[in-house]
Amino acid sequence: MKPYQFFRKLSVIAIPILIVVALSAMVTPQKGTVPSTINDFFFPGSQPLESGTFANPDQCSNCHGGYDQAVEPTFTWQGSMMAQAQRDPLYLATLVIANQDAPESGDMCIRCHTPKGWLEGRSEPTDGSALTADDRQGITCHACHKMIAPSPIGLNPYPDYPLYITQPGNKQSTYTLDQNYLATITDHIPPTNANGMYICDDLDHRRGPYFDPQANHDTPYSPFHFEGEYCGTCHDVSNPAFSAVRNANDEIIGYTPNDFDTPAPDFSPYELFPVERTYSEWLVSEYNTPGGVTGSYFGGNKAFVSTCQDCHMRDETGKGCNKQYAPVRDDLPIHDLTGGNTFVPGLIDLVFPGEADTVALNAGILRARDMLQHAASFELTVDQLNSEVTVKITNETGHKLPSGYPEGRRIWINLKAFNSLTAETYESGYYDLSTGILDKTGTKIYQVKPGFTPGLAALLGLTPGPSFHFVLSDTIYSDNRIPPRGFTNANFTAIQSPPVGYTY
């Protein structure tokens, strides 16, 4: 299957991140606020106070840090946006706007940005004011390693992994541990992995991808932790305030607001309004095939990449803890969880002085910049006779380029032309770093634009069209982001992420 490519008479790629700084944690409700309650944003899965307590990452660093910054889990995680998820000022600004537009909608945001804070019962008030400094450590070690795959009672979700059922050394099987906890939440086991519908054990069973670690805590073997479905838990996001409307052919023709103060009638992500579809974009890409994609820059020790973890937690050679007896592994997943955010990490210490490791953050910025520089490849052809430049761009990621947060990510190509005296004679796609303004003249921007339909806008007293109020958006006005290898219009329509106003 050939990678999807597009052609433009432009040149160098540039990927900024839009930033809005929240000046206040509380905003007076403006026109457009709806009478929502926390019930409107309910999702199944573990609920507050159903998953016990969560250890501070500093406890984990006693064994998993301080020995090799290149591979150790502590330092690499500290430099990731996972560790800064609840400190991210762009997210905090979005949280303010969401709560302003739809009271208590912030609960579904806090759910993924600080599982510890949410599960320990501090997500209300939904402006985050009850959260602690420990909660601001974002997606923590313990929260991730206590997670369980959503599965009906009595069904083995991993029949191809015998160690999930029977572990060596007479250890209790992970299947039994998982089923024991699932039996305590039988009336709210989620139908799938999405929308922050995580399931977290109430006991201290720290699951992971190995069956043979020697540790001072329980280490059940968990296939879930190396499957892409694990990441889909928080990287497929839907708005439960709107449900899909389908025609006689089962095609989505729009979205309708659900009744207030009532959970959505169906929690399948594909029956709700799509906010982010990063996981689903990967799910229907060439990456999610038995052979994956070979020759990827991102795979570390692997000859091919397939899952989210293969790229974002690449395998390297090293030890997973600082104990002398710890084995050196060639399949050690690096916990840097690198994405494409080079701007926000530089703001963390300004907003929350002293809370984060700035050395780790700076290392994370370098990794993110490197990932962005390899997220696309291009070939440049110059036609001097006609003064034209053609660029062929290939998306080298396993999802759309860009993917994720729709209101803060866009890409464009920045072209500069010079004469024989090296003087600049032309530029397209100029971005002023001092003002944060992009000169859009002649610049093709690749992004997604959600917004309000005329019907909803009339109901809310707002102007129809694209908006930056994601919690109220009920339509996609345009989406020309570059799809990954394996793209088909049918598959991307099925996951609610088709091109809109554009053709691929």
Q: What does the alpha-carbon distance between residue 118 and residue 123 come to, in Å, rounded to a whole number?
A: 5
Which segment of 236-250, 257-271, 373-387 scores lowest on mean pLDDT?
373-387
Give me the pLDDT at residue 167, please: 74
Q: What's the pLDDT score for residue 169?
A: 67
Give mean pLDDT, residues 243-267: 98
Q: Please check the confidence at residue 7 and state whether its pLDDT lies above 60.
A: no
pLDDT number for residue 33: 82
Confidence of residue 163 (pLDDT cuts 50, 70, 90): very high
The residue ranking higher by pLDDT, 442 or 133, is 133
Cα 281 from Cα 499, distance rounded (Å): 12
CB distance 32 to 463 below 8 Å: no
410 closest CA partner among 440, 390, 377, 435: 440
Note the pLDDT tens digit of each residue in 16-67.
333 233 323 223 334 458 999 999 999 999 999 999 999 999 999 999 999 9
Q: Which residues pair with 390 in a beta bridge?
A: 381
- Rounded mean pLDDT of 442-457? 95
What is the reported pLDDT for 384?
86
Residue 442 binned pLDDT confidence (cut-offs 50, 70, 90): confident
pLDDT of 166 higher than 90: no
Query: Residue 186: pLDDT above 80?
Result: yes
Residue 32's pLDDT is 53
* pLDDT per residue as tens digits for the range 52-63: 999 999 999 999
pLDDT tens digit sequence for 392-405: 899 999 999 999 99
Domain residue spans of the chain: 1-504
- pLDDT attached to residue 391: 86
Q: Which residues are paired to 316 by β-bridges?
A: 332
Per-residue b or e along 197-215, where b marks 16 or more CB atoms closer than 10 Å to that residue's CB: bbbbbbeebbbbbbbeeee
Percent of the chain residues past pLDDT 90, beyond the cut: 86
Q: What is the mean pLDDT of residues 480-487?
A: 97
Q: Is the pLDDT of residue 457 over 80?
A: yes
Confidence grade of residue 6 (pLDDT, cut at 50, 70, 90) = very low
Q: pLDDT band for 8, please (50, 70, 90 cuts).
A: very low
Model confidence at 421, pLDDT cuts 50, 70, 90, reads confident
Question: Strand pairing partners for 304?
Answer: 294
pLDDT of res. 45: 99
Flag the least confident range among 120-129, 238-247, 421-430: 421-430
Residue 162: which residues within 8 A CB-CB, separation 6 or more? Answer: none
Q: Are 240 and 108 in contact (CB under 8 A)?
A: yes
- Per-residue confidence (pLDDT) for residue 17, from 0 to 100: 31
The two three-digit tokens of residue 414, written as one number: 């920045």
The answer to whether the beta carbons of residues 166 and 177 sit under 8 Å apart is no
pLDDT tens string 115-128: 999 999 999 999 99
Structure confidence at residue 19 (pLDDT): 28
Computed over every residue of the chain, the mean pLDDT equals: 92
Which class for 432: exposed (0-12), middle (13-18), buried (19 or more C-beta within 10 A)? exposed
Q: 133 pLDDT exceeds 50?
A: yes
What is the arithmetic mean of pLDDT over 79-84? 98
